[in-house]
């Protein structure tokens, strides 16, 4: 474990809170990752103190450096959520924890269930224990729509039956169960956000996480057609990363607890997605079609009314608006 110092660090690691607790400090696990780095920036823009915890196994130091360039007061601890003892210092003095760190790969969890268990189950439990022991008020954690599996019935609601089909999905569901227990047994408030297909800048096109959009963009940037598996009529619920950041912050600042879908609430086919991106990229050709991949979910869309009622979540970006911003300058 290691605290990576800032260039302008003072001797005091933890700033004193102002009168009445006016300064709010949040820990973001996975803050060097795709969603986590955007969340850190959103918290800084609201005037909060941010402590980043990341082992850089999938996040990057370049993202930390970019955040520090704009917000030199950033505190970064390099270490793993699988190490409970390590979490003690970063969590000290925190008002809330945003838990974004994860082993984010359904296929990877099937190939390597032990790593999935260590990070997504033991790591989740460690975060809850460390938060409890540090007197943290609330934990807002990333869950996943993967827990719904292939059961029929749309749009997906939080009280629908679940059918986790991978170690990754099972770990996310188990984490939600631990969150409920820590609320009941120890009084730790928890919120679990079931992300659907999150997209935005800094997303790794080589990852297994909602990668269709960056993969399409990569091909189009090379003058190649989008590659679609199957007939392209499979649907997804795409939600822009800035809306996910808003959902996290709203959930933390509210009195809400429990499980909530985070999505756009709109169903988009892969064919329509390819058409939108081709138009925005100035590509006039047709997509390339490949054989359907086995086990692929045919349709996916969320009911987001519970998040709207619970903490006022309402997506601010249409798919076209999010993609346009993602493709624009300064992304």
Q: Which residues are catalytic?
A: 168
Instruction: Please tell me the distance from the alpha carbon of residue 248 to that of residue 253, in angstroms, as a whole number.
Output: 9
Q: What is the dihedral of CA 66, 67, 70, 73, to 10 degrees?
A: -130
Q: Which among 261, 280, 268 has a CA at the least distance from the CA of 327?
A: 280
Which helix (H) or strand (E) element contains residue 269? strand 268-269
Kindly list the distances between the CA atom of residue 321 and the CA atoms of 135, 278, 327, in Å, as whole numbers in the listed order.
Answer: 40, 14, 10
Alpha helix (H) residue ranges in the chain: 34-45, 61-70, 84-91, 106-111, 113-116, 123-134, 167-186, 212-221, 241-253, 270-281, 305-311, 319-327
Token pair, residue 14, equals 């933890």
Instruction: Please tell me the distance from the alpha carbon of residue 141 to that of residue 183, in angstroms, as a whole number.
Output: 14
Cis upstream peptide for 246 (omega within 30°): no
Tell me the pairing of strands 189-195 and 227-229.
Answer: unpaired
């Amino acid at each position: 474990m290691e605290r990576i110092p800032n260039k302008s660090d003072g001797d005091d690691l933890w700033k004193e809170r102002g009168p009445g607790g006016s300064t709010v400090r949040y820990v973001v696990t996975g803050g060097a990752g795709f969603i986590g780095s955007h969340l850190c920036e959103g918290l800084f823009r609201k005037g909060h103190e941010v402590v980043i915890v990341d082992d850089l196994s999938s996040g990057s130091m370049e993202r930390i450096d970019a955040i520090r360039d704009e917000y030199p007061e950033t505190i970064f601890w390099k270490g793993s959520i699988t190490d409970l003892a390590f979490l003690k210092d970063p969590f000290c003095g925190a008002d809330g924890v945003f838990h974004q760190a994860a082993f984010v790969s359904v296929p990877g969890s099937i190939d390597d269930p032990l790593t999935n268990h260590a990070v997504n189950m033991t790591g989740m439990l460690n975060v809850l224990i460390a938060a409890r022991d540090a007197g943290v008020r609330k934990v807002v954690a990333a869950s996943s729509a993967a827990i719904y599996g292939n059961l029929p019935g749309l749009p997906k609601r939080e009280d629908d039956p679940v059918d986790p089909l991978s170690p990754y999905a099972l770990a996310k569901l188990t984490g939600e169960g631990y969150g409920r227990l820590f609320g009941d047994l120890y009084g730790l408030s928890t919120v679990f956000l079931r992300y659907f297909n999150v997209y935005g800048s800094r997303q790794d096109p080589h990852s297994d996480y909602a990668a269709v959009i960056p993969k399409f963009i990569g091909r189009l940037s090379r003058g190649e057609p989008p590659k679609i598996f199957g007939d392209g009529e499979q649907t997804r619920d795409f939600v822009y990363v800035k809306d996910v950041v808003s959902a996290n912050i709203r959930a933390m600042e509210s009195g809400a607890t429990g499980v909530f879908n985070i999505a756009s609430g709109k169903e988009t086919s892969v064919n329509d997605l390819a058409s939108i991106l081709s138009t925005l990229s100035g590509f006039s050709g047709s997509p390339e079609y490949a054989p359907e991949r086995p086990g692929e979910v045919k349709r996916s869309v969320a009911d987001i009314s519970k998040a709207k009622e619970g903490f006022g979540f309402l997506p601010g970006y249409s798919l076209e608006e999010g993609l346009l911003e993602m493709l624009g300058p300064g992304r």
